Structure 1
């Protein structure tokens, strides 16, 4: 099946995430090509940092940077690039970069996929160390890229994450 056929799902409380980059899998930045829908190597990051969670996007959404809504999915194991997982929002990392607003949604798998996270409902349920690792990664992952920058504006709770999903759905025009 083509990734272009994957729907966003039942937003804003549950949605599909297409995983591009697995957690802790090196410095390769994979990206789904918008035209071919193939998973491609975008680049090797210049910093020696690895994504601290599975990284992907919600299809059929659009954000201020011109891309779909970015999502970090926390799971007990790294996920395979190109797979689809149903997730639920628990928070958002507000940030911007040289391309514009670039918020990162924090999500967990649905209970069906991973019941061990069933009791986690909001960002305050996530260990502080995990949140610090995510923040540290995004503060520094572009440090060696000339002309690129990142500004973090803190974490938001589940309500703010739901608003981010709704806004990204509203901006999307097929």
Structure 2
């Protein structure tokens, strides 16, 4: 049952377009500049057959986000983000000029908004012409750069989703979430340990692991309207993630405020770097 839920969730992902369909220019997203940089022009008469981009929050064997081909009747623009359905992938290896060979798959997706391709759920539903066109395009595209691109086989939607999930786990967490929960209620009574155990279990289930500062609680000091200083002991739960689902955290915060009878709890986020 859990496996089925995971597969269904993974079949729909967000993709970022770098180079639009029918473009003669190749664009690359540059995180440092925060924009899309013109990388090169293709030879005259050569254009991208479909929108080409990447899957955010993934790291492939070459150290870059996974490449994605967005099969649709319309082209978009650099930076466009599309919710897409995974239908398969072209498994391939790429050899550079210096002979280094890495896995460099091309994942095949269809935008949810597509009216012509919306009924396609697996790569087998695509015509052989589309697959041949895509494979020949990337073979020739890499050949122009002195690289050897070798398609190996076509992956099913299920296998493509597994590969994407693995690439997501390879992506280093870059954001830290901290959840502050008080130890005592308004009357000074300590909350039940069962409540904290419940919070820990839910966060571990959803994110795979946490750091909980329970035995050495943080002490918060604040001043009320009468000018009196009040101390608050808090348990802090720390989670590292690559992407923040704001809707999830808003709902989680409301749930905790009800459980611990608090007018407002603090959940904060911050950027971090790993060594």
Pairwise same-fold verdict (TM > 0.5): yes
Gaps of 5+ in 2: 1-7, 174-275
Partner of 1:54: 51
Higher relative contact order (CA 8 A, sep 6+): 1
- The RMSD of aligned alpha carbons is 1.8
User: In structure 2, what is the Cα distance between the partners aligned to 1:128 and 1:90?
Assistant: 15
Aligned partner of 1:40 among 37, 41, 45: 37
User: SS at 2:164's partner residue?
Assistant: helix
Write the mapping of 1:1-174 to structure 2, written as runs, cut at 5 A.
Answer: 12-26=10-24, 28-46=25-43, 48-97=45-94, 98=96, 100-110=102-112, 113-146=113-146, 148-174=147-173
State the alpha-carbon separation in 1 of the partners of residues 114 and 145 from structure 2.
36
Following the alignment from structure 2 to structure 1, what is the Cα–Cα distance between the partners of residues 9 and 31?
Answer: 22
Once the 2 structures are TM-superposed, how far is the Cα of residue 124 of structure 1 from its aligned partner?
Answer: 0.6
Q: 1:155 Cα shift?
A: 1.2
SS at match of 1:134: helix
* Structure 1 residue 58, shift from structure 2 partner: 1.0
Partners of 1:162 and 1:23 lie apart in 2 by 24
- Considering only CA atoms, is the larger Rg found in Structure 1 or Structure 2? 2
Deviation larger for 155-164 or 60-69: 155-164
How many angstroms apart in 1 are the aligned matches of 2:44 and 2:145? 9
Equivalent pair of 1:142/1:150 in contact (CA under 8 Å): yes
Distance 1:119 1:39, change over 3 A: same
C-alpha distance in 2, partners of 1:65/1:114?
Answer: 30
Q: If the length of structure 1 is used for normalisation, what is the TM-score?
A: 0.85
Question: How far apart are residue 130 of structure 1 and its match?
Answer: 0.7
- CA distance 1:123–1:76, change in 2 (3 Å): same
C-alpha contact 1:47 1:142 (8 A) present in aligned 2: no
